[in-house]
Structure 1
Amino acid sequence: MATQLDRSTRVMNSLVKGMSRMGIRAFGAKELVVIGRKSGQPHSTPVNPVEVEGQLYLVAPRGQTQWVRNARHNPRVTVRSGRREAACTVHEVHGSDAVPVMRHYLKRWAWEVGKFFPEGVTATSTDAELEAIVAAHPVFRLERA
C-alpha cells in the first residue's frame, strides 16, 4: 500500500511541480507525467532525475507509489521542465544493475529524500545494502521515445 503523504510533502510537491511548469528547475527537479492505469488520464508528480554515465534515471524514494505502478503499466511517459517536454519510455532496472544509480541518487538527493530510505542507508552503503533496498525503491532508466 502506498504511504500517505503528509501535508508538508503535498505542499512541497505542489510548489516544485508549479516551479517546474514555469521552467524553474528547483535543484534539478522535473515534472513526470504518467497515464493512469485505471483512469487513462495524465497524472503528474515532481521527480528528481539523476544522470549516471550519460543516462538519465528516476528513483522512487517513496517506494511503490502511484507513478511507479502507472509507469509499469504504461511505460510511455513525459518529462517536463517549463515548456520543454520529452517523450520517454521507462525501463525498470533491477538488482545489482540499479546499485550505481541508487548510489548516485543518494549522493545527489539524500538531503531531500533520505528520510524515505531505511535508516543507515546512504550513498556510502555497501553494494549489498543498496541492492537490498532496490525492490522497495524502484529504479527506472529513461529512454527518449
Structure 2
Amino acid sequence: MTITSDRYVRPAGLEAHFNRVAAFLTRHGISLLGTRILAVRGHKSGEWRTNPVNLLTHEGERYLLAPRGHTHWVRNIRAAGGGELRLGRSTEPFTAVELPDEEKVPLLRAYFERWGWEVARFFEDLPKKPTDEQLAGVAPGVPVFRVLPAEGDGRRG
C-alpha cells in the first residue's frame, strides 16, 4: 500500500462525534490516552483554530502525527511553525519540526500500537501488524511533527 503525499481523509459520522466528545473531555482536563487540544493560528485567517490530537511520546520525545493526512491543522502548523497544546487550563506553547518520511516508520508503528483501534479505518489496506516496508509505504501520507518547547519559558498554565 502506497499513499500519496497529498492524502486527506475527512472526518465523518461517528468520528466527528467522537472528536467532539474527546475535545470536550480534554478541554475539561481529562486526557484520553494522551489527547490534547491542538491550537494553531490559521495560515490564511491568523485566527486560532483548535482540534483534538493524540500526543505520542516515543523514546523520550513527543510527536504529533496526522493519520488523516494533510489536514487543515497540518497546513496551519507548517505555516505557523508551532502552536499550543492544551489540557484543561494548562497551555503549553511549542515549536514543531516536520520529519522526513525516512524517520517516520518507528513512530508510525508506536502510534498504531497505541491508537490503532481509533485510526485503522484510515488505512484499510494495512494489516494489524504491518511490516516496516508497509509503514514506509504510507509514510508520505502521514505528516509527523516533533514537538519541542517554545522559546522562552516553555510552559504556562
- The TM-score, its normalising length taken from structure 1, stands at 0.92
How big is the shift at 1:15?
1.1
Q: Is the 8 A contact 2:56 2:63 kept in 1?
A: yes
Aligned residues: 144
RMSD between aligned alpha carbons?
Answer: 1.4
- Of 8, 21, 31 in structure 2, the residue corresponding to residue 25 of structure 1 is 31
Aligned to 1:138: 143
**Of the two structures, which has the highest relative contact order with CA contacts closer than 8 Å and spacing of 6 or more?**
2
| Paired letter, 1:79 | L
Aligned to 1:113: 119
What percent identity do the matched residue pairs reach? Answer: 36
1:71 aligns with 2:77: yes
User: Partners in 2 of 1:117 and 1:34 — Cα distance?
Assistant: 26
Aligned to 1:45: 51
Aligned to 2:154: none
Provide, for residues 98-128 of structure 1, a one-character-per-residue CA deviation record: whole Å limited to 9, x for no partner.
1111110001000111111242244x32222
Change beyond 3 A, Cα 1:121–1:86: farther
- Of 13, 16, 29 in structure 2, the residue corresponding to residue 7 of structure 1 is 13
Unaligned runs of 5+ in 2: 1-6, 151-157
